[in-house]
Structure formats: structure tokens, C-alpha cells
Chains A and B, each alone.
Chain A
Amino acid sequence: AQKITQTQPGMFVQEKEAVTLDCTYDTSDPSYGLFWYKQPSSGEMIFLIYQGSYDQQNATEGRYSLNFQKARKSANLVISASQLGDSAMYFCAMRGGWDKIIFGKGTRLHILP
């Protein structure tokens, strides 16, 4: 069975600091993918970054990077130089067997000026 765990319900971070949002997963599938999404207060879901289980390097997209530690089954999102606009809900998600995609409960990030 697939499982995604986000252990930080909420975080407060000072503007311009780096942020790490935790995500651990569990799956028995040898091939899987990990995603991060952002949901601002307006409600839309915004895709941030993707990591495949066989990718050798950690994924990066602008200020976002995914710290993928396969042996630990973790896929933490790192946001460098945080901005006020980064305040939002962040979800980790996993595609596993039969292309089922499940989400964690999310972390609400507050960036302080």
C-alpha cells in the first residue's frame, strides 16, 4: 500500500531564509514518482517539481529543489530565499502502482516579513 506522510502541519519562516518541508513515503512499487504542489489561499493547485524513483540526480526548478533520499524514503522540498508569495499550503504526492496518485495532509507555510 502507498502512504505519504507530512509531519509538519504548519511552519513559520522569516523572509529570505531557506525552507525545508518534510515528506516521507512508503511503497512496495519499484517504480514511482514524487510530486510537490502549492495551494495558495485562492485555492488552485500549482505543480512545483517532480522526482522519478530512478532519477540519479535531485530535481531542481528555479528556487525549488527536491532532496530525494531513496534509502530513507524521503522527498523533502527545499525553497531557497523564501518570499512572501511562498506563503501557502504545500502538498507532497506520490504516483505508485496502477498510476494511483495519493497526497499527504500538507504543510501550511507562513513567510514572515
Chain B
Amino acid sequence: NAGVTQTPKFRVLKTGQSMTLLCAQDMNHEYMYWYRQDPGMGLRLIHYSVGEGTTAKGEVPDGYNVSRLKKQNFLLGLESAAPSQTSVYFCASSSPGRGDGELFFGEGSRLTVL
């Protein structure tokens, strides 16, 4: 059971480089979310999507872009990475019509920007 898979798990970037984090889910969930986790800050919502082709801003969207071209995939892009984007990134998916609509999380991706 794959669930939610994030790629890559670890990445080191230099300031100004770009990269894309991929989130894939095999549960046919409508909703997908990207969070970042920093010490003492909890999880902060970056962007989310309530369906294929739709995205919305979360609490800390600046410096990130997202795309949801396919229902099962949600991409998070950093166009010009900054040291402030060093964090652990979590992707999650849910389907409010099933169960409690809880979030199912990936294992996280640790990004370091030098």
C-alpha cells in the first residue's frame, strides 16, 4: 500500500536554484495539500488543491508554485530557492466524503538551501 509518496526524500540546493517536489497518491483522493514544518512553528499550509486543475493559496504561499495536472499528483515548485525555505515538506491528501476526511501524509522531504 503506497498511500502518499513524496519524491525526493532529501535534497540540498544552492541559493537561487530551482527544484520541484513531487507528491503522488494512489487513494483517488480529491484534495491534496503541501505543508512545511519548522521547529516551533508546527505545520504551515503552503498551497492546496480541491481537485484536478485547481489550486489555492495557504498560509505561506510566497516563493512557491504548485500544479495539479493529474488527480493523483501534486507538484510543489521553488523557482529561486532561498535559505528561508530550508524545511521539512509534507504532502497530504484527503477525501472528505470518506471516513472522517482525515489527512493522509507522505513521509516528508527534507530540503536544505545553502
Contacts and interface: CB of A to CB of B under 8 A. Distances in A.
B56 interface: yes
Interface residues of B, number: 27
A18 to B, nearest CB: 24
Nearest to A43: B108
Interface stretch (B10-18, B20-28, B38-46, B75-83): B38-46
B102 A50 contact: yes
A78 interface: no
Identify whether the interface residues of B are mostly helix, strand, loop, or mixed. Answer: strand
A110 interface: no
Interface residues of A, number: 23
Interface in A56-92: 91
A57 to B, nearest CB: 14
A99 B40 contact: no
B105 interface: yes
A105 B102 contact: no
Contacts of B74: none
Contact of B42 (A50, A52, A98, A105): A105
Interface in A8-33: 9, 33
A33 B101 contact: yes
A69 to B, nearest CB: 19
Interface in A89-103: 91, 93, 95, 98-103
A44 B90 CA distance: 10
Interface string B94-111: 101000111111011000
Given A98-B50, A98-B56, A47 B103 contact: yes
Contacts of A95: 96, 101
A112 interface: no
Contacts of B94: 101
Interface of A: 6, 9, 33, 35, 37, 43-45, 47, 50, 52, 91, 93, 95, 98-106
